[in-house]
Structure 1
Amino acid sequence: MDAEIRDLLAAVLEALDIPHPATAGGAKVYDEIRNDRATHVVVALRSVLDDKPLMGIEWTTAYLREQLAKHPATGYVTVAQAHAALAEGKTWSEAVTLPAGEEQ
């Protein structure tokens, strides 16, 4: 597989394969982030598949990664974070509560 295509596909996977929330309370933030990221993926793929793209695959991939950095998968507690907190001895309530200063 061409290295540029592989890199683009890796960026698409990075965009869409974000950690699931530990609780239903985090679902809204998760959905918003994933929807924003999916929109950027669609724009990137349309750009690459356009008959006469303005920019190449490498530029499009870099632009997609820039957009993903603006929409990080934060603002909710992930399943992995909750499990790690439980392993540290925290209660379920403590494990699924965002640290102070993080928005949800």
Structure 2
Amino acid sequence: MDANVRDLLAAVLEAIDLPHPATAGGAEVHDRLLSVRVVHARIALRNLLDDVPDLGPAWTAKYLRERLAEHPVAGYVTVDQAQAALDAGKTWSEAVTLPGGEDQ
């Protein structure tokens, strides 16, 4: 597989492969982020497939990553983060609280 195509596919996966939230409260943030990131991935793929303009997969992957950086995966506690906190001896409430004190 061409390295530029592989990089673009990796960027698309990065856009849609968000970690699962640990709580229902985190699901709202997760779903909002996923929706925005999917739109950017769709635009990138559509532009590439339509050759409008013919920018190629390398430019498209860079563009997509720049858009994803505007919408980082943040604002909720993931299942893995909560599990790590529980394993470290924290309570469930502590495990699902964002740094700064915002509960999920």
Q: With structure 2 as the length reference, what TM-score do the two structures score? A: 0.93
- The more displaced of 92-101 and 66-75 is 92-101
Report the equivalent of 1:77. 77
* Alpha-carbon distance change, 52 to 26 in structure 1, aligned in 2, over 3 angstroms: closer
- Across the aligned residues of Structure 1 and Structure 2, the Cα RMSD in angstroms comes to 1.7
SS of corresponding position for 2:7: helix
Q: With structure 1 as the length reference, what TM-score do the two structures score? A: 0.93
Report the equivalent of 1:24. 24
Asked whether the 8 Å contact 1:75–1:98 carries over to 2, the reply is yes
In the TM superposition, structure 1's runs of 4+ consecutive aligned residues that sit over 3 Å from their partners are 101-104
Report the equivalent of 1:7. 7
* Alpha-carbon distance change, 70 to 52 in structure 1, aligned in 2, over 3 angstroms: closer
Asked whether the 8 Å contact 2:22–2:77 carries over to 1, the reply is yes
Asked whether the 8 Å contact 2:21–2:78 carries over to 1, the reply is yes
Q: Aligned letter for 2:24?
A: A
CA apart distance, 1:53 = 2.7
Q: Aligned letter for 1:98?
A: L
* Alpha-carbon distance change, 9 to 103 in structure 1, aligned in 2, over 3 angstroms: farther
Show CA shifts across 1:5-60 (max 9, x none).
10000000011001010011101100010001000000000011004434222111
Identity %: 66
User: What is the count of residue pairs matched by the alignment?
Assistant: 104
- The more displaced of 25-34 and 47-56 is 47-56
Q: Gaps (5+ residues) in structure 1?
A: none
- The more displaced of 78-87 and 51-60 is 51-60
Q: Gaps (5+ residues) in structure 2?
A: none
